[in-house]
Structure formats: C-alpha cells, structure tokens
Amino acid sequence: MADGKASAQVGTVEEGGMERESGHSACLARQAPDARRRWLVLLVVSGSLLLCGIDLTVLHVAVPSLSRELEPGPAQLLWIVDVYSLTLAALLVTCGTLGDRIGRRRMVLSGFLTFGLASAAAAFATSTGQLIAARAALGAGAAMIMASTVAIIRVAFPDDRERALALGIWTSAHSIGATIGPLLGGLVTQKWGWGAVFLINVPVIVVLLAVGARVIPESRNPVPRRWDVASVVLSVTGLAGVVYALQQAGENAGADGVILAIGVGGGVLLHLFVRRQKRIAEPLLDFALFRERSFSTATLCVIGCFGSYVALLFFLTQWLQQVGAYPPLRAGLALMPLAGANALGAVTAPWAANRWGNRWALTGALSMFALACAALALVGDTAHYGALLPPLLAAGYGAGIVMTLGADSLMSAAHPERSGEAAAIQETSFELGAGLGVALLGTVLTAVYRTDLPAVPGLAADQRAAVQASFASAEDLMAHLPPHTAGAVRHAAQQAYDRGFTAVSMCAAAGLALTAVLAATLLRPRTAGPRAADD
C-alpha cells in the first residue's frame, strides 16, 4: 500500500508564498531528531503500521472459533470483520486534519493508546456487540496512527535520500502485516483461542507508546485545514447505513421496508456529503479530482482489486476450515502462497509497467486476477490443495501488480500540486475497498447459503432455522443430534457453503473483469501534463 495521507502535506502550504514555505522548512529542520533517534522513530511508526496491517487480516482464520463461542448472526459476523476497515476508511482523512491542528505526535500517541485499549477490550469481549464496538475502536485507533505517521517521518528525515528509504520501509510494514495476519491468527487461535489474536497487540503497543513518547518529535501544520464536523457525520453515518442495509438484506434473503429505508437514507447522506464537499472551501475529500477520467478509473481499480483480495482472503479461510475441515494453523499456511505471490507482484509491478505501460499492465493483471477467481469457482476443491495452488498464485500475483500500479496511476493522474489530496483519496480507497469487498461478497455468500441449503429429513422447524442461520449455528446443533442426522446436517451445510463460496468467486471474477475493461478503455494518458497515467 502506498503512503497516502492527508497529513502528508507538511512540506509546503499552497497559498502561503515562498517565504512561508521557507519558514516552514526551517521549522521542520529544527524539529528533526538527531541521527541516532530518527531510526528509532521509524521503528516505532513502522511497528505500529505492522500491527494495523495484521489486524486487517488476523481475525479471518479465527472467525469459526469465535462464531462457535459468541454465536453471531451472518450480518453480525460481517460487521465484526468489516467495521475495522470501514471505521479506518471513514476517519483517516479527518484524523489527518486533526493531527495537523493538535500535533501529530499527540495524535499518534493517542492512536497507540486507543489501539491498545481496544485490543484488550476485543480480547475479553463476551458478546457480539462488545466485539463489534471494540473492533470499531481499533479502526479509530488505526486511523489516528496511519493519518500521522507519514508527516512524522517527513519531519524526522529531512534528507531526501534517507526519507525515501524510510518511507519505503514504512510502506512495506502494512503489507507485511496483512500478509502474515492469517498465519499468525491461525497459530495463535489454535494454541490459545481467538481472543489471543487481539491480546498479542497489547505488549507491543505498550513498548511503542513508551518509546514513542520519548523519541517522536512534535509537529503541526502552521496553516491547518478546517475540520468540518458535519462532513464527518454525513460520511460515517451514510456509509454505515448503506453497509448495514446490504448485510441485513443478505441475512434476510431480501430487503424489507425498514432495511430498504436505512439503505436509501444512507445513500442520501452520502449524496449530501458529496454535495457539501463540492461547496465548502476546505473539503475533507476534494471530489473535483474525480473529473479527471484517469484518476476516477484508477480509484475504481484500487477499490475493486483490494476489496476482492481482502474478501478472498477472508472467505477462503472460512471455506477451507468449514468445508475442508482445515485446522486454523493449516488454513493460515494454505494462504501463504497467495500472500507470497501478492508480494512478488508488488515487487515486479514496475517491470511490468516499464514493459507494457501502466494501462496495459493493469488491464492484464486485473484479467489474471479475474481468471483466477473464476478458476477457484469452477475447479476449487478443498480436498485437492494442489488444484487450488495455481489460481491462488495467479490471484496473488495479479492483485499485487494492480495494488501497486493502481496507486501509481492514481497519483500520476493528479497534478503535482494536488498530490496530497490524491494521496488521501488513495489510502482511503484501499481501506474502503477492504470494507465494501467483504460486505458485498459476504451478502452474496449468506444469501446463497440460505437459499441453496438442501433439505435434511427429520429436522424440526426450529432446528431447520438454526441450520439456515449460519454454518456455526449448524455446528452447534450437530452436538445435540443423533450421529446419522448430524452427519446429514454437516453435509448439507458444507454443500450450501461451498455453493456460496462459488458464487462469491464468480461475482469477484465478474467485477474484476468489468474493472479490467474500464482500465483498458478509460485509463489513458493525459494529452498534456508533467506525467501521464500510461507512463
């Protein structure tokens, strides 16, 4: 993931003239720590971003275990997974604006504290509602951290060459965290239970907080942007309403009047948010950037690809454990080729861009990802992992190229003087894609599971309803049934979940194929400008 934050705009102030720019640069030089401490600063902020990446995916392998203990409904389960990335996406830009005002050191240390307390609360949650609230607080803490760390690095590393190296290390920390999340989650869950996946954050945060308080320099924007509370409320409540309606519609196999009203209300609030951003002088997100066709297309590529990738990670872990009866650790290990290929794709993306250009490299990588998802749907079999390996490798490699080149195309499509705003949209797109991908595809899986569940003879009406509620509910029921009936229930639930995963894979393939067509058609270079999106 690229280093896009609203708080990245710390080097200049557009309307302040050269004198203000010079004075601000001198201020940053005075704030910069000495050579021995600046690498400690990098270690602290990179360590915190590693935790943010881990928490994006660490829960995936633990879901079957926590489902058996907390018994969430399908929509509640999606919220447990989704609320972290959605909260992070909704608060990322506004936390950057607040950090510019109150000080980035204060903001990031507050983020460490919030993240640590929320991790402890999640680890000891005894109900679904408590876990959802704790995950939301984790997302808020991650937003406070991620919104401030780029600016802190820019202050700590005034030398251009050192700063480039530091930003590269910082950027890779989040990707490494997301990559090792499923493996770490499987190892910890299998040994100590699902709560431990959150508890491991606490000692790390204590160390980061203690060291960070001593070494991180304070910095502020001398001309901070205005924090618009109304925009924050409109965006957060609107997004929550739309996602809630989507998830409830999947759980209820359709939308009743109340759910439909909530979804429409959320859409109206998001529309009002967009209109407000176009009217106010200092918007949270400048939608004028989307008038550039290449910019809007690249944003769609980032959202679609990262959303499909995170959703694939999540549903693969459930499919392997629930249909294939993989233990948590084995499920985490089974995803390592996907994650490794993703890292390889990110590394080789510049080579692909140099050979074919961003436009055609993106189109080819999106097509590869789409074909891999279709292959998982058509030939995927948990009993034959060897057959899963080629599509997993292709999916990871294609996604790695798209995430890297999509972010680069997005930044290239914006004029240099708008790079800070473009970076904020870029980072928000990654997190929003993660949340929406799980929400949309999770709704598909839930609906297919319920409608395609085969009939099991001998079940009472309440028992049939329990099997339809979720795979976890079906497993709970099996413990109270005769062996023959329990075996029939397991087979029916596995068959229905397998069909749901097939539908999810096909939907992801269709969405990625459409995105590939858009990239090929619309992601063209500007006729004039310092850079072209198809460089």
Residue 231 in this model has a pLDDT that exceeds 50: yes
Q: Are 42 and 155 in contact (CB under 8 A)?
A: no
Q: How many CB atoms lie within 10 A of CB 480?
A: 10
pLDDT digits (tens, 9 = 90+) for 260-291: 888 899 999 999 998 998 888 878 777 777 88
CA distance 477 to 481: 7
Report whether pLDDT(216) > 70. yes
Residue 118, pLDDT score: 96
Whether 1-224 shares its CATH topology with 290-535 is answered: yes
Please give the CATH topology (third level) of the domain spanning 290-535: Growth Hormone; Chain: A; (1.20.1250)
- pLDDT greater than 50 at residue 519: yes
pLDDT > 50? residue 9 = no
Region 391-402: mean pLDDT is 93
Residue 416 is predicted with a pLDDT of 62
Q: What pLDDT does residue 2 have? A: 40
Confidence of residue 254 (pLDDT cuts 50, 70, 90): low
Higher-pLDDT residue of 117 and 89 is: 117
CA dihedral 91, 345, 343, 159 (to 10 degrees): -70
Q: 25 pLDDT band (50/70/90 cuts)?
A: very low
Using pLDDT thresholds of 50, 70 and 90, give the confidence band for residue 122: very high
Question: At residue 410, does pLDDT exceed 70?
Answer: yes
Fold of 1-224: Growth Hormone; Chain: A; (1.20.1250)
DSSP code per residue over 12-48: --TTSHHHHHHHHHHHHHHHPPPHHHHHHHHHHHHHH
Highest-scoring range by mean pLDDT, 70-79, 182-191, 506-515: 506-515
Q: Which of 34-48, 148-162, 389-403, 458-472 has the highest mean pLDDT?
A: 389-403
Q: Are 150 and 7 in contact (CB under 8 A)?
A: yes
Q: Could you tell me the end-to-end alpha-carbon distance of the chain, in angstroms, rounded to an integer?
A: 20
Q: What is the mean pLDDT of residues 20-33?
A: 45
252 pLDDT tier (thresholds 50, 70, 90): low
Give the CB-side neighbour count of residue 506, counting CA atoms within 13 A. Answer: 12
* Lowest mean pLDDT, pick from 19-23, 83-87, 368-372: 19-23
When the pLDDT of each residue in the chain is averaged and rounded to a whole number, the result is 82
pTM of the model: 0.81
Ranges of each domain in the chain: 1-224, 229-281, 290-535
